[in-house]
Amino acid sequence: MALAASPRRSRRELLRVGSLGLLGLSWAGLLRGQAAAPSKSDGFGRAKRCILLFMWGGPAHQDTWDLKPDAPREFRGEFRPIPTAVPGIHICEHFPKLARQMSRLCLVRSMTHDNGDHTAATSYLLTGQPPVRGGALREQWPHMGSVLAQLGRGRGALPPFVSMRPKLENDVPRFVEESQGQFAGWLGAAHDPMTIDADPSRAGYQVAELALQPELSLRRLAGRRDLRDALDRRLAHAAPAFASQDSHSRRAYELLSAAASERGAFNLEEEPLRLRERYGLHPHGQSVLQARRLVERGVPLVTVFWPNDGTKNVSVYWDTHSRNFSDLKTRLMPPADQAFSALLDDLHERRMLEDTLVIWTGEFGRTPRVGQRSSDAGAGADGRDHWGGCFTSVLAGAGVKGGFVYGSSDKTAAYPAENPVAPRDLIATVYHLMGVPEGQVLADMAGRPQFVRPGSALRELLA
């Protein structure tokens, strides 16, 4: 069977897959994911679920996770490093709670790529793949959650992939729709995430798409479901296509029931007030708590995007072109510190941390020198511009080494000094822990096989 070249497939991969035919393997077998799976002894499949905390805008790693106190002031900035629970590892003074959690954290301080565009660079960290030129939605690479959804992960009525993107009053939704890699791309709309734009910190929070009309009780909903089931069973004899429609309808009814019931996954008021306060009664904290409730109920992957609480007077997201230090220490780092540390404690107390993978990252970092210009947006005297040359991503749980630093940056945090890590290898590590084998192939909307797992897993990060 001839295979046409595609921009999503390298020559080496084409030759490798083509040779499989000589071994008696078929495309159908590949599309069922029948690649050889590694042994679980190397952490393969250790993670049952994943929470991705995505700091839209690009946090300055030299002001958060990788401070340079010996560098000249124009590079090191205003913040001091503080010791953590692990001797020899220091992070920023404005992450005090996470400093106490360092024994659970793995810092990858040598992340690097060459793209300084917010809405394109997200592709690297959400999919492991480079952005698609032109950015057409159904030509983009699929988010990791969409791959898991297509592979049939998840259980129960809840969707297999959810994105928290709380929309706040007076925000500027710059990255919400444009950022590549958020959706299922060429896997098709059926595997897009359920996106929640409601603010979970507000009174009366509910997911609008799942809210029942006031006149429709759960009892009436169940009656409608039973009537629909009876009709579908009769129609299925005449038209087999109704059978697949029936399964989709049943799942929709189950999801509505789960969301509307008093014990629904979206009812944050079920949580004790003390726990909600631990996460923080702000949009990010409650989004992270919502993510924990979802993965606890069987959702394989939840992405929590940092909300845009920026206005004309402050930075948008973590995009600190100006007010870098004032915004970091007052608006950005305290809620991030609170929510991430609370999540780790909460997962540990529920005995979930051992098989839940948590990732904290942005799409890139910030310029080494304060006020340095690297994009059209530039930087003020107290800001840092876009910088993909070096940044930090953080992992925890599910077989990842805690109290561990991998890689290092140079003396000004501009480029990796040792063990540079491309995003594709970080994402390959996530796929490895989530049980997606090397060589995994899925069909795009045109039925063409595509490799979905990029790079090589960083085994040095695995406990």
- Could you read off the pLDDT of 220-242 as tens digits, one per residue? 655 655 665 666 566 655 555 44
The whole-number pLDDT of residue 318 equals 96
Return the axis-axis angle of helices 241-260 and 218-238, rounded to nearest 10°.
170
Cβ contacts of 385 within 8 Å, gap of 6 or more? 116, 321, 366, 367, 372, 373, 374, 375, 377, 378, 379
**Residue of 151 and 238 predicted with greater confidence:** 151
The whole-number pLDDT of residue 19 equals 42
CA distance linking residue 327 with residue 266, whole number of Å = 31
Tokens 């979802």 found at: 294
The whole-number pLDDT of residue 374 equals 96
Q: What confidence tens digit (pLDDT) does each residue in 375-408 have?
A: 999 999 999 999 999 999 999 999 999 999 999 9
Q: What confidence tens digit (pLDDT) does each residue in 106-117 have?
A: 999 999 999 999
The whole-number pLDDT of residue 17 equals 44
Query: Could you tell me the residue ranges of all domains in the chain?
Result: 43-199+302-461
**Which of the residue ranges 150-164, 168-182, 425-439 would you say has the lowest mean pLDDT?**
168-182
The whole-number pLDDT of residue 42 equals 84
CA distance linking residue 297 with residue 437, whole number of Å = 25
Q: What confidence tens digit (pLDDT) does each residue in 53-63 have?
A: 999 999 999 99
The answer to whether residue 34 scores a pLDDT higher than 50 is no
The answer to whether residue 52 scores a pLDDT higher than 60 is yes
- Kindly indicate the confidence band of residue 283, based on its pLDDT and cuts at 50, 70 and 90: very high
The whole-number pLDDT of residue 169 equals 80
What would the mean pLDDT of 365-374 be, rounded to a whole number?
A: 98
> How wide is the angle at C-alpha 237 spanned by C-alphas 236 and 240, nearest 5°?
50
**Residue of 163 and 220 predicted with greater confidence:** 163
Tokens 């511009």 found at: 385
**Residue of 186 and 248 predicted with greater confidence:** 186
The whole-number pLDDT of residue 316 equals 79
**Residue of 11 and 315 predicted with greater confidence:** 315
**Residue of 262 and 391 predicted with greater confidence:** 391
The answer to whether residue 308 scores a pLDDT higher than 50 is yes
What would the mean pLDDT of 305-329 be, rounded to a whole number?
A: 85
Tokens of 4: 């046409």
CA distance linking residue 335 with residue 342, whole number of Å = 10
What would the mean pLDDT of 6-26 be, rounded to a whole number?
A: 43
Tokens of 393: 């991503």
What would the mean pLDDT of 342-356 be, rounded to a whole number?
A: 98
Cβ-contact 224, 252 below 8 angstroms = no
The answer to whether residue 326 scores a pLDDT higher than 90 is yes
Q: What confidence tens digit (pLDDT) does each residue in 188-231 have?
A: 999 999 999 999 999 989 886 555 445 545 566 556 556 656 66
What would the mean pLDDT of 369-379 be, rounded to a whole number?
A: 95
Cβ-contact 369, 409 below 8 angstroms = no
Q: State residue 286 phi and psi, 5-degree precision.
A: -75, -30
CA distance linking residue 42 with residue 44, whole number of Å = 6
What would the mean pLDDT of 134-153 be, rounded to a whole number?
A: 96
Give Cα 273 distance to the centre of its chain: 27
Cβ-contact 51, 356 below 8 angstroms = yes
Cβ-contact 294, 154 below 8 angstroms = no
- Kindly indicate the confidence band of residue 310, based on its pLDDT and cuts at 50, 70 and 90: low
By C-alpha distance, which of 311, 338, 409, 401 is closest to 53? Answer: 338
Is CATH 3.10.150 the classification given to domain 43-199+302-461? no
The answer to whether residue 80 scores a pLDDT higher than 80 is yes
The whole-number pLDDT of residue 233 equals 60
The answer to whether residue 249 scores a pLDDT higher than 60 is no
